[in-house]
Amino acid sequence: MSKILLLGSGELGKEFVIAAQRIGQTVIAVDSYENAPAMQVAHGFEVINMLDGKALDKIVAKHQPDFIVPEIEAIRTERFYDYEKQGITVVPSAKAANFTMNRKAIRDLAAKELGLRTANYRYATTAEELEQAVVEVGIPCVVKPLMSSSGKGQSTVRTEADIAKAWSYAVEGSRGDVVEVIVEAFVNFHSEITLLTVTQNNHPTLFCAPIGHRQERGDYQESWQPANVFEEDLIEAQEMAKKVTEALGGAGLFGVEFFLTDDGVYFSELSPRPHDTGMVTLAGTQNFNEFELHLRAVLSLPIAEITLEKVGASAVILASENSNTPTYYGMADIAALPKTDFRIFGKPSSRPYRRMGVALTHDVLGTPIEHVVEKAKEAATLLTVNS
């Protein structure tokens, strides 16, 4: 059996560990704080600052893993190339992890090297540069830190008065030690999707049914599968996803995000790991959920097919206050609902808008997806988090 070093131990990592445990793999979970969700189900854990290259080297040497699986952005990813030289498999690859931990590398790869359709964009490292970038891409536009997660630091500039606030918010929400933002022209999209893309060693690239999602504050609130996508748009998105994942290399599950517009499909972002919107697959929408797919690809276990079994939806359960002792109310209420499930992530503390759990609903294929989404949203309101 293999030993996996999981770098980042949030709710996505927790589900990955559970999948690994089910087929006998050993996982050491790493994060910057104790009792992170994935640590609660792993064989062991380490608490370090993953932006400290020496600390990272130390635990890699200590555990001698077969695989290093990143789950977050704030990691000293340039060290991954050396780990690959040591014979350790970095998931999906050192290049993929290094490029996608920073929006600059992945956006330039997609737009400049691969020629994928993206929003017009610029970079800025100071408030003054941001002002100039906004002039060049035009208003409205979106400002994001180059390194962040769950929408932190992301905002929309609608007037010149918003520029200074956007810079401060981006710097505050940035992860890691990179103080730089990307400024994107606003894309007039009618919907956005995540296309979970599975690359395999010696087997074909596979795609899950597209996942639709709605965001607030840059973070997803609901997701549903399958999303309603025109066949020609889906084919274009699959071609773009295959192109960019092949350029990054390695085996694993990628969450590739697209905007769907009247002018076609726009590449947005890419994560080289299970995606938060993909938690809808925990509702049993597929023969394998996204975490099982990631694990099987990592271990080079062949995946014969990915089949859509049900329609499903997820809705996030958010905290409303700061607490070091979050308590959950309404479990019996949500548990009593038919075709409904939920997950509590086990985060040791809460803060306003922190994602603490997810409600999951499903129904038979052919059920209008809007009905399933509404059920998930209603279910999420039944489970509350208080101190």
Query: How many CA atoms lie within 13 Å of 180's alpha carbon, on the beta-carbon side?
Result: 12
Cα–Cα dist 95/339, whole Å:
41
DSSP states along 234-292? HHHHHHHHHHHHHHH-SSEEEEEEEEEETTEEEEEEEESS--GGGGGGGGS-BSS-HHH
β-strand 264-271 against 340-344: which pairing, if any?
A: unpaired
Does the annotation mark 276 as catalytic?
Answer: yes
> Which candidate in 222, 276, 290, 292 is catalytic?
276
> Which candidate in 257, 290, 341, 363 is catalytic?
257
CA nearest 42: which of 30, 57, 50? Answer: 30
Is residue 228 classed as helix, strand or coil in its secondary structure?
coil
CA nearest 254: which of 264, 266, 265, 240? Answer: 240
Cα–Cα dist 114/81, whole Å:
23
Determine if the peptide bond prior to 226 is cis (ω within 30°): yes
> Which candidate in 252, 355, 357, 361 is catalytic?
355
Does the annotation mark 257 as catalytic?
Answer: yes
Does the annotation mark 269 as catalytic?
Answer: yes
Does the annotation mark 148 as catalytic?
Answer: no
Identify the residue whose tokens are 């993929």. Answer: 96
> Which candidate in 89, 149, 223, 268 is catalytic?
149
Indicate the residue type of 330. Answer: G
Cα–Cα dist 283/367, whole Å:
15
> Which candidate in 57, 84, 151, 320 is catalytic?
151
Structure tokens at 26: 């050993």
> Which candidate in 118, 277, 340, 350 is catalytic?
277
Does the annotation mark 151 as catalytic?
Answer: yes
Structure tokens at 83: 């780990």
Backbone dihedral angles phi then psi of residue 111, each to the nearest 5 degrees = -80, -45
Task: Write out the catalytic residue numbers.
Answer: 149, 151, 257, 269, 276-277, 355
